[in-house]
Structure 1
Amino acid sequence: MPASDLDLLIEAANEAGEIASGYYTADPQVWHKPDDAGPVTEADYAVDHMLREKLRSARPDYGWLSEETEDNAERLSTKHQFIIDPIDGTRAFINGSRDWAHSIAIATDGKITAAVVFLPIRNQMYAAGRGTGAFLNGERLSIRDRVGIPSVLAAKPNWQPKFWKNGTPPECDQHFRSSLAYRMCLVGVGRFDAMLTLRPSWEWDIAAGTLIIEEAGGIVTDRAGDPLVFNNPFPQVDGVVAGTNAAHSLLRDSLA
């Protein structure tokens, strides 16, 4: 049995990658969730089942929150919780893109304490433990402020004038990637200065990425500038603004 929570998550992520890769570009069965909540594939369900069995067998006293498992109130009475997105970026997975990930985290008393985001097709394993740093394939991550126009990862709707003071977004170099967890990792590795999503965000999309950015030296808050709290009764937070100190301040100061 793995000695630490983070070792357990890394082992589970590798197994998830093996399962999902077997379905990748193999025309998996696809269903569409109610209320336009997006697609889900047989690969999502297969990975979710494996993770639930493996992780809860190893840590039976931990609560469980996953995008592909029906939620219940049991997790609210636990000290620790697994927060899981079996495949983040399912549309990318269906379309044959490489930008999908397994996002696996553990929360303790509302804070993420261990986190893994694994992109099997890119062979990129992002991992972080609270107080012990963030890593990509074993190499420590460290981000810092840069001079010039910040590069920001965000979907197009986030740049609508209604979200910004005087109806004008700050001057930014705008980019996009399919997986929200992957966007957060790209900030953690220093390829982009910031990411944001201004709509309510599901905890499973952002839990692992939050710790990866924080342990790399960045800042992660909700759109109001407050720290993120996890294992909420309704598992959403009020958007996410994350990045280097300077980029985070620019975005937060510019929001309406």
Structure 2
Amino acid sequence: MSAEISAEPMTGPHGQDPATLDPLARQLAETVTAAGAIALAMFRRSIKTWTKGNDSPVTEADMAVDAFLRERLLALDPALGWLSEESEDSPARLSARRLWVVDPIDGTRAFMAGGTDWAVSAALVEDGRPVAAALFAPASEELFTAVAGGGARRNGVVLRAGTRAALEEAAVAGPAADMDSLSRFAAVQRLPRVRSLALRIARVATGEIDIAFAGGNSSDWDIAAADLIVHEAAGRLTTRDGAVPRYNAPVPRHAPLICAGPALHDAALSAVRHPLPSLQHRTHHD
């Protein structure tokens, strides 16, 4: 389940040369890394926390990182739209062909508990799909980057999702209901919960996780950066209908998702399409 290095040539979306995104992608990575340093300086310290209207926790670190990212990223191109978990949503983004999609701290509960499975996530979305991404996990010093058509990297090393084709002994992370569904078909390895959904998906790109699940109701900011990272590593992230996620909808939320390497995705998708009867009415869980 180790990452592989690939030298295969790739082409970008809409015939786009990946090199044209490189300067912006570099600035994105630098900005996300600096934002991670802000969060890390507040990590495992006494800071203010509260609960938002949807029962989600938020901290002053989330807000500080959000403000930093908004200032720095919008300065790169003021014409770009903006969507962030910690910023007030604006309908103006719907008319933007290109926009930043940001989660200042993905895995806030992990951050608050002193765990290491949290990250700063940002993606540039164009025409509904991410074209540049940076995901930084400061506590584990991991920087994931990707450019559409240009591959994905962790700390500079090119990534390739695992080539496992059999469900048997596959390393799986996500909601218990989904792992129960897989267990009907094969004896899988249940991994500890990765509380950052973005990191959970990104670890499919590294081969550390074979199959990652997201329950219903994940938002654009949870998955946009990780989506590009795993796809550029030749992995697949789709709904249970096999559809690739689209971004910047009026309601930026997603149906349950499944992520796996190219040889394993179809088998995993088939398994979760036929859940245990006792689990069919479970509520969503990320």
Counterparts of 1:46 and 1:173 in 2: how far apart (Å)?
A: 38
User: Which of residues 119, 126, 147 in structure 2 aligns to 1:129?
Assistant: 147
Aligned 8 A contact 2:49 2:58 in 1? yes
Aligned 8 A contact 2:230 2:236 in 1? yes
**Pair 1:128–1:13, CA change in 2 (3 A):** same
How far did residue 3 of structure 1 move? 6.3
Residue deviations 1:72-111 (CA, integer Å, cap 9, x gap): 1111111101000000000110111111100110110011
How far did residue 226 of structure 1 move? 0.7
The 5 Å alignment of 1:1-256 reads: 4-36=23-55, 38-146=56-164, 148-159=168-179, 168=184, 171-175=187-191, 176-254=193-271, 255-256=273-274
Counterparts of 1:212 and 1:194 in 2: how far apart (Å)?
A: 15
Counterparts of 1:31 and 1:188 in 2: how far apart (Å)?
A: 33
Could you list the runs of 5+ residues in structure 2 that have no partner in the other structure? 1-20, 275-286
Aligned positions, number: 250
Code of the aligned partner of 1:21 = L
**Pair 1:220–1:22, CA change in 2 (3 A):** same
Secondary structure at 1:103's aligned position in 2?
A: strand
How far did residue 198 of structure 1 move? 2.9
How far did residue 223 of structure 1 move? 2.1
Counterparts of 1:169 and 1:4 in 2: how far apart (Å)?
A: 46
How far did residue 168 of structure 1 move? 4.0
Code of the aligned partner of 1:180 = L
Could you tell me the TM-score, scaled by structure 2's length? 0.83
Residue deviations 1:201-230 (CA, integer Å, cap 9, x gap): 111000000011011111111122111111
How far did residue 157 of structure 1 move? 4.2
Counterparts of 2:186 and 2:78 in 1: how far apart (Å)?
A: 47
Secondary structure at 1:53's aligned position in 2?
A: helix
Q: Runs of 4 or more off by more than 6 Å in structure 1?
A: none
Code of the aligned partner of 2:188 = C
Could you list the runs of 5+ residues in structure 1 that have no partner in the other structure? none
Counterparts of 1:27 and 1:8 in 2: how far apart (Å)?
A: 31
Counterparts of 2:187 and 2:253 in 1: how far apart (Å)?
A: 29
Aligned 8 A contact 1:101 1:182 in 2? yes
When structure 1 is superposed on structure 2, of 95-104 and 138-147 the one drifting more is: 138-147
How far did residue 171 of structure 1 move? 3.8
**Pair 1:8–1:169, CA change in 2 (3 A):** farther
How far did residue 4 of structure 1 move? 2.0
Counterparts of 1:114 and 1:3 in 2: how far apart (Å)?
A: 9
**Pair 1:52–1:182, CA change in 2 (3 A):** same
When structure 1 is superposed on structure 2, of 149-158 and 197-206 the one drifting more is: 149-158
Code of the aligned partner of 2:174 = A
Aligned 8 A contact 2:83 2:93 in 1? yes
Secondary structure at 2:92's aligned position in 1?
A: helix
Equivalent pairs: percent with the same residue? 36
